[in-house]
Chains A and B, each alone.
Chain A
């Protein structure tokens, strides 16, 4: 997506008198020490922008530690907001403008390549005259150093200005900064004031008033003192939007799905979904049970589902590993279950707060023996809302565990989506508990589809014992070799029957060409943006995004065959061919590439990494540039 004006043009325009520069998009970051409220200000700025009809994507900047030392590079906490005059699908490339409450947080973002080389910086300058000589020196030295960069730094007396209004600037600087941003991006101040009223609604007028004063002061200061002003025209979004992150969307989806039970054990970055669910689930008769560990959580969920109360268990990688045995049981005993895995960096404890898509192969294949299950992956925040509803339907219809693979990127990202209208059919009707005919098989496997109607406790005449042992259609322990074969066949047929219901995914871009990028999960927006940019450069590149990973829809092979080269784009590990030791005999591919190669016998390549960072559209473009330069 080209901007109306490039940043270079913006920079040169800045030198003249203050005029309003119209932009197609901007990426804004606001970073502070933890607890200084940058996140709140960032979220508010995102919401105000969405109210103005802009497309937005916001994502939290999270320090790795709970209490990082103040003024440290790794301790920056805040928000990144991408604002566009189009529907924004991802966090984008590097930031254009940064509000930083101290120079170390700024350095942290700069050195981790998150800023454009010539980004505009609005930096708190109180450190220049700080009482602590070390801090003072560090600040001054840093500023000297940064002179050698192209960053356009404005030193802003944030604290000094705030102290004119409140006694403790620590607690209000974020709103002052928000006011400054509202001036810079020509935001409607009434919308901004309303946002503050909403944010502090619970705390009352005593808190709202000073915050609005700070907001206005920040605005006025910027109007008078900054020599630039931007405008990002509306994207024409007019329908009411919901602005939540992916975890909140999943929690709302669980409520909408009519599920009764969520059993979980806390783990980053999945926990906030359960936090939010704990707030609201009881209002609709649900229960969030924090079990003693993930095994118990999964077993509890299986028990509830077995008893006819469909359950979800929410976790992340290490928890998935622990749940493995129970999930195999659910597959074997044909108990419906929804498993949400908010993926993080692995293996082991890995990168707890960072994004990775490393659990795909595990999801498809984990558990010993053959345990069919369905794996789907939401690609947007909106998908996160609908995923639990769909997953529950599939789980109950096909009597199978359904995995929903979200990731840290979706978990903390916010992207407005059209407010859903609740539909009664989202909620499965209560289980029919009428008596079953005597002698009815609890696994009355349909010869063609493997499907059978579930019998749950409470149904007269239906008494039987479910078991994880190989069993016959009567749920009797298998002592004959054929019984296990029959059971495995039937359970696999269900997966095939489900596969028949899937629609072939649509290609983004031309239906044939030089390169097809294939992605899954949270990277859809980034990949498609890269495809647009590549097409503008004249490359024949398209993309395909898969929401169902196991099973996959028909027709995918035919799509792959229409391109000279197929490359999966994934945030997970694959061997880098720059190391000599990796060759065709030992090379390990990225998760999806393995699956595609195995199923379609096509020489699928991959482009993946495990930096734990959201993917950037231009990094994909760089890869394509290299590819086409060859």
Chain B
């Protein structure tokens, strides 16, 4: 009665991407490094979303975590320390057909690339940014990071880190045009997957801080939050609803409406627990790459016409004979 066409064929995609399609080189991270688990979640997401590998780009900075693109079977751009975001923005600005992800370390994002981080939030471009926050400089061998806890002994602070850490979530939530902020720990693969999925589907700039273990240099920084009791699982119909298993493991929970920016900021400031899930989500923020999208295809004729129009404004046609008189 709905006019079902008996002759219709269901078009099945002729390619189905498997996990292997998203794999490339064997990761060279240390055993137990949290980056491995982030990689697995991301590959699962790509597979489940069936992202064509040729239409997917991972852009990173420099650091252990920034090796990420090399391990993906997609396109990748392993850029410069701190500069992943502006490179990713450039990739996206005229290629709406590409899904662009960004991997940054805490040094990348919160130190050398801080200006780009702030402005990336403000541009609110369609990108998914993952901050691999191990609270230490890994690649360069254990120097203090802006996110290191005060007192942490590192190679540049042998008597303990001097300063209180920056709070990446609070900073991000303080910037105008913020549209998606989430936090997760890489040892919660199921939640990480759910969060990444929401981040991927979000329209605008999705910022996800992934708390990431570095067993090699800072085996103990996360001791106080490793236990399931330390996590505060954020739940909401407009955010995430976790599985029963998750709800059983992570007993401490909060109904948090992700449109509530003030509450999100309060959560971001909490030091007694690790709020995980979606802190903030607002799809009504202008998206820079859409605002600046090309209005229509440009033909040679249009280009020529545009140039002629400009030329005509600056044209001088010499009067024959040259010297006229008044």
Segment touching A, from B130-138, B157-165, B314-322: B314-322
A467–B76 CA distance with the chains assembled, in angstroms: 8
Number of interface residues of A (CB under 8 A): 86
Our pick among B62, B78, B91 for the contact of A307 (Cβ within 8 Å) is: B91
Contact A296 B76 (CB under 8 A): no
Query: Assuming the A-B contacts A191-B324, A287-B93, A326-B83, are A51 and B302 also in contact, with contact meaning beta carbons closer than 8 angstroms in the complex?
Result: no
Shortest CB-to-CB span from B80 to chain A, Å, is: 6
Our pick among A284, A307, A459 for the contact of B306 (Cβ within 8 Å) is: A284
Instruction: Enumerate chain A residues within 8 angstroms of B25, measured Cβ to Cβ.
Output: 476
- The answer to whether the Cβ of A304 comes within 8 Å of any Cβ in the partner chain is yes
A188–B319 CA distance with the chains assembled, in angstroms: 10
A459–B84 CA distance with the chains assembled, in angstroms: 22
Our pick among A261, A465, A476 for the contact of B75 (Cβ within 8 Å) is: A465
Query: Assuming the A-B contacts A187-B324, A457-B57, A459-B54, are A299 and B318 also in contact, with contact meaning beta carbons closer than 8 angstroms in the complex?
Result: no
- The answer to whether the Cβ of A329 comes within 8 Å of any Cβ in the partner chain is yes
Identify which of A187, A256, A282, A457 gathers the most chain B CB atoms within 10 Å of its CB: A457
Query: Assuming the A-B contacts A187-B324, A285-B296, A299-B86, are A460 and B306 also in contact, with contact meaning beta carbons closer than 8 angstroms in the complex?
Result: no
A282–B83 CA distance with the chains assembled, in angstroms: 26
Contact B91 A306 (CB under 8 A): yes
Mark each residue of chain A from 54 to 90: 1 if its CB lies under 8 Å from any CB of chain B, else 0.
Answer: 1000000000000000000000000000000000000
- The answer to whether the Cβ of B304 comes within 8 Å of any Cβ in the partner chain is yes
Query: Assuming the A-B contacts A52-B324, A234-B321, A463-B75, are A299 and B295 also in contact, with contact meaning beta carbons closer than 8 angstroms in the complex?
Result: no
- The answer to whether the Cβ of A318 comes within 8 Å of any Cβ in the partner chain is no
Contact B319 A53 (CB under 8 A): yes
Q: Which residue of B lies closest to A287 (CB)?
A: B292
8 Å CB contacts to A: which residues of B112-165?
A: 115-116, 118-119
Instruction: Enumerate chain A residues within 8 angstroms of B79, measured Cβ to Cβ.
Output: 299, 329, 468
Instruction: Enumerate chain A residues within 8 angstroms of B321, measured Cβ to Cβ.
Output: 53, 234
Shortest CB-to-CB span from B69 to chain A, Å, is: 4
- The answer to whether the Cβ of B300 comes within 8 Å of any Cβ in the partner chain is yes
Our pick among B95, B292, B320 for the contact of A457 (Cβ within 8 Å) is: B95
Q: Which residue of A lies closest to B21 (CB)?
A: A463
A186–B119 CA distance with the chains assembled, in angstroms: 57
Query: Assuming the A-B contacts A252-B310, A303-B89, are A51 and B316 also in contact, with contact meaning beta carbons closer than 8 angstroms in the complex?
Result: yes
Contact A285 B294 (CB under 8 A): yes
- The answer to whether the Cβ of A248 comes within 8 Å of any Cβ in the partner chain is yes
Shortest CB-to-CB span from A385 to chain B, Å, is: 10
- The answer to whether the Cβ of B13 comes within 8 Å of any Cβ in the partner chain is no
- The answer to whether the Cβ of A517 comes within 8 Å of any Cβ in the partner chain is no
- The answer to whether the Cβ of A127 comes within 8 Å of any Cβ in the partner chain is no
Query: Assuming the A-B contacts A51-B316, A329-B79, A457-B75, are A311 and B303 also in contact, with contact meaning beta carbons closer than 8 angstroms in the complex?
Result: no
Contact B307 A466 (CB under 8 A): no
A243–B53 CA distance with the chains assembled, in angstroms: 50
- The answer to whether the Cβ of B271 comes within 8 Å of any Cβ in the partner chain is no
Contact B98 A300 (CB under 8 A): no
- The answer to whether the Cβ of A50 comes within 8 Å of any Cβ in the partner chain is yes
8 Å CB contacts to A: which residues of B18-67?
A: 24-25, 52-59, 62
8 Å CB contacts to B: which residues of A408-464?
A: 416, 419-420, 422, 424, 427, 457-464
A243–B94 CA distance with the chains assembled, in angstroms: 32
Contact A284 B303 (CB under 8 A): yes
Contact B318 A466 (CB under 8 A): no
Contact A458 B95 (CB under 8 A): yes
A296–B93 CA distance with the chains assembled, in angstroms: 14
Our pick among A239, A307, A325 for the contact of B94 (Cβ within 8 Å) is: A307
- The answer to whether the Cβ of A213 comes within 8 Å of any Cβ in the partner chain is no
Shortest CB-to-CB span from A56 to chain B, Å, is: 9
- The answer to whether the Cβ of B73 comes within 8 Å of any Cβ in the partner chain is yes
Contact B93 A304 (CB under 8 A): yes
Q: Which residue of B lies closest to A240 (CB)?
A: B317
- The answer to whether the Cβ of A576 comes within 8 Å of any Cβ in the partner chain is no
A608–B318 CA distance with the chains assembled, in angstroms: 37
Instruction: Enumerate chain A residues within 8 angstroms of B57, measured Cβ to Cβ.
Output: 307, 457
- The answer to whether the Cβ of B101 comes within 8 Å of any Cβ in the partner chain is no
- The answer to whether the Cβ of A289 comes within 8 Å of any Cβ in the partner chain is yes
A237–B24 CA distance with the chains assembled, in angstroms: 64
Instruction: Enumerate chain B residues within 8 angstroms of A148, measured Cβ to Cβ.
Output: none
Query: Assuming the A-B contacts A329-B79, A466-B76, are A244 and B314 also in contact, with contact meaning beta carbons closer than 8 angstroms in the complex?
Result: yes
- The answer to whether the Cβ of B212 comes within 8 Å of any Cβ in the partner chain is no
Our pick among A296, A306, A307, A309 for the contact of B115 (Cβ within 8 Å) is: A296
Our pick among B83, B119, B310 for the contact of A255 (Cβ within 8 Å) is: B310
Contact B316 A243 (CB under 8 A): yes
Q: Which residue of B lies closest to A56 (CB)?
A: B316
- The answer to whether the Cβ of A242 comes within 8 Å of any Cβ in the partner chain is yes
A296–B300 CA distance with the chains assembled, in angstroms: 31
Query: Assuming the A-B contacts A296-B119, A308-B95, A463-B53, are A241 and B300 also in contact, with contact meaning beta carbons closer than 8 angstroms in the complex?
Result: no
Query: Assuming the A-B contacts A303-B89, A463-B75, are A282 and B94 also in contact, with contact meaning beta carbons closer than 8 angstroms in the complex?
Result: no
8 Å CB contacts to B: which residues of A269-306?
A: 280, 282-285, 287, 289, 291-293, 295-297, 299-306
Contact A466 B310 (CB under 8 A): no
Contact B87 A282 (CB under 8 A): no
Query: Assuming the A-B contacts A189-B326, A284-B302, A458-B95, are A296 and B307 also in contact, with contact meaning beta carbons closer than 8 angstroms in the complex?
Result: no
- The answer to whether the Cβ of A477 comes within 8 Å of any Cβ in the partner chain is yes
Shortest CB-to-CB span from A4 to chain B, Å, is: 14
Identify which of B54, B70, B118 gathers the most chain A CB atoms within 10 Å of its CB: B54
- The answer to whether the Cβ of B280 comes within 8 Å of any Cβ in the partner chain is no
- The answer to whether the Cβ of B2 comes within 8 Å of any Cβ in the partner chain is no
Our pick among A50, A420, A466 for the contact of B77 (Cβ within 8 Å) is: A466
A285–B317 CA distance with the chains assembled, in angstroms: 30
- The answer to whether the Cβ of B90 comes within 8 Å of any Cβ in the partner chain is yes
Shortest CB-to-CB span from A379 to chain B, Å, is: 20
Q: Which residue of A lies closest to B70 (CB)?
A: A465
Our pick among A50, A188, A256, A416 for the contact of B326 (Cβ within 8 Å) is: A188
Q: Which residue of B lies closest to A51 (CB)?
A: B316
8 Å CB contacts to B: which residues of A510-544?
A: none
Mark each residue of chain A from 227 to 259: 1 if its CB lies under 8 Å from any CB of chain B, else 0.
Answer: 000011111111111111000100010011010
Q: What are 26 inter-chain pairs, A to B, with CB distance below 8 A?
A: A51-B318, A53-B318, A53-B319, A53-B322, A186-B326, A190-B324, A234-B321, A238-B318, A261-B90, A280-B310, A284-B298, A287-B294, A289-B93, A292-B119, A299-B90, A300-B87, A300-B90, A306-B91, A307-B91, A311-B90, A427-B300, A457-B91, A465-B58, A465-B70, A468-B80, A477-B70
Interface residues of A (CB under 8 A from B): 47, 50-54, 182-183, 186-191, 219, 231-244, 248, 252, 255-256, 258, 260-261, 263, 280, 282-285, 287, 289, 291-293, 295-297, 299-309, 311, 325-326, 329, 416, 419-420, 422, 424, 427, 457-469, 476-477
Known: A299-B80, A462-B54. 5 other contacts (CB 8 A): A52-B323, A419-B315, A457-B57, A457-B91, A465-B75
Interface residues of B (CB under 8 A from A): 24-25, 52-59, 62, 69-70, 72-80, 83, 85-95, 97-98, 115-116, 118-119, 292, 294-298, 300, 302-304, 306-308, 310-311, 314-326
Interface pairs A-B: 9 shortest CB-CB:
A303-B90, A234-B322, A188-B324, A465-B76, A299-B86, A53-B322, A467-B78, A300-B90, A304-B90
